[in-house]
């Protein structure tokens, strides 16, 4: 029994539905429904976000990913730190057999390994003022000594904190092959 029906039974002795009741989350989810594709994906028929992921309001907390709600309804509980990943790489898919639990790090690794996300780091970032050659030069000049981070910042047209972050390797870390 949904919360509305429970309260109606408690107050009036009858759980009879009324116009405003939409039923349990599972009933609402199934009412919106999905379309089965050739790859056995269940493509969400409800609203979607700009990236194509389905959206569903399961509780008063607002809209959530339809795939996460599907997992909660058909498979089981999740902690707030767990994410629901797609094994099929199809954002609107809500087929429970295509969903898998993991961490944010697992999800990002999936994206990079499957070629859905190219890291916008270093020279790939269209707002970068430096190249890898510049970064290596900055590190070599600073390591040799005698030049301040402020002087290097002025020479390369970036801020002093940016140069410090480069030297400390907090930014512009060497790319790691996945």
HSE-up of residue 9 (Cα within 13 Å, Cβ side): 7
Identify the residue with better confidence: 46 or 121.
Answer: 46
pLDDT of res. 1: 64
Q: Judge whether residue 163 has pLDDT over 60.
A: yes
Rounded Cα–Cα distance for residues 177 and 170 (Å): 18
Q: Kindly state the average pLDDT of the residues 72-90.
A: 93
Q: Kindly state the average pLDDT of the residues 105-119.
A: 81
The secondary structure element, H or E, covering residue 106 is helix 104-113
> pTM of this prediction?
0.59
pLDDT of res. 18: 53
Q: How confident is the model at residue 100 (pLDDT cuts 50, 70, 90)?
A: very high
Helical ranges in 145-176 per DSSP H: 149-156, 160-167
3-state secondary structure 8-47: HHHHHCCCCCCCCCCCCHHHHHHHHCEEECCCCCEEECCC
Q: What is the pLDDT of residues 126-137, one digit of tens each?
A: 788 999 999 999
Instruction: Name which of 13-27, 111-125, 159-173 the model is least confident about.
Output: 13-27
Query: Percent of the chain having pLDDT more than 70?
Result: 88
Write down all domains in the chain, each with its CATH number in brackets.
21-113 (3.90.75), 122-167 (no CATH)
Calculate the average pLDDT of the chain. Answer: 86
Are the beta carbons of 178 and 113 closer than 8 angstroms? Answer: yes
Q: How confident is the model at residue 178 (pLDDT cuts 50, 70, 90)?
A: very low
Can you say how many angstroms the Cα of residue 94 is from the centroid of all Cα atoms in its chain?
Answer: 16
């Amino acid at each position: 029994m949904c919360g509305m029906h429970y309260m109606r039974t408690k107050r009036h002795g009858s759980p009879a539905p009324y116009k405003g009741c939409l039923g349990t989350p599972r009933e609402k989810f199934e009412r919106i429904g999905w379309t089965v594709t050739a790859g056995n994906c269940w493509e969400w028929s409800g609203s979607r976000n700009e990236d194509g992921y389905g959206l569903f309001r399961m509780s008063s907390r607002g809209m959530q990913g339809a795939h996460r709600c599907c997992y909660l309804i058909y498979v089981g509980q999740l902690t707030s730190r767990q994410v629901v990943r797609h094994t099929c790489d199809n954002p609107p898919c809500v087929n429970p057999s295509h969903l898998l639990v993991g961490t944010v790090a697992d999800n990002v690794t999936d994206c990079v390994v499957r070629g859905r996300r190219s890291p916008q780091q270093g020279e790939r970032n269209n707002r970068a003022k430096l190249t890898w050659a510049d970064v290596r030069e900055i590190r070599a000049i600073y390591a040799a000594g005698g030049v301040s981070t402020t002087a290097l910042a002025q020479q390369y047209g970036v801020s002093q904190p940016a140069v410090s972050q480069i030297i400390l390797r907090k930014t512009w870390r060497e790319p790691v092959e996945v």
